[in-house]
A = this chain, B = another copy of it.
Amino acid sequence: MKADKALVYLDDVAEGDRYISREYPLAVAQIKAFARDFDPQVFHLDETAAANTFFGGLAASGWHTAAITMRLMVESVPFASGLIGAGVEISWPRPTRPGDVLHVDSTIIAITPSKSKPDRGIVSLQSLTLDQEGQEVQKLISRLLLFRRTND
């Protein structure tokens, strides 16, 4: 899955390290399918009804934007032990719309070695999800568990 990319351990990362994902086009059918399963509200399901809501038109569920962001992070952030989240903060400054083409721009903003478990640490990663015009549709701060390189 990440064979073409050098996997990194806690020993290898530094504040400011940056990872850019591929682009992900979001079709209206995907927006409605996700909403039917997980967020069945009119502004995610029906163009006509959505026009009269706060969103002024069909918008993707914020949880759909978050899930797509994770997909793009799994592909672009080469942490050797995978992306294991302890916790996150998310904001959605503007809605994701049908036809948007998203990508994710991730930057390491802090690294905190564990005091009790010397083999690991927490990497704080800021991931901005941007549309085709560079507008921010989601800001995610993740606290991710990352292990040190072992010698065996």
| Chain A residues engaging chain B, CB cutoff 8 angstroms | 1, 34, 37-43, 53-54, 61-63, 66-68, 70-71, 74, 81-92, 145
Contact = CB atoms under 8 A, between A and B. Distances in A.
A83 B89 CA distance: 18
B38 A70 contact: yes
Number of copies: 2
Nearest to A64: B67
Contacts of A39: 67, 70-71, 74
B91 A89 contact: no
Contacts of A82: 41-43, 53-54
A1 to B, nearest CB: 7
Q: Is chain A's interface secondary structure helix, strand, loop, or mixed overall? A: mixed
9 contacts: A38-B67, A38-B71, A39-B74, A42-B82, A54-B81, A63-B66, A87-B91, A89-B90, A90-B90
Contacts of A42: 82
B62 A85 contact: yes
A86 B81 contact: no
A68 B1 contact: no
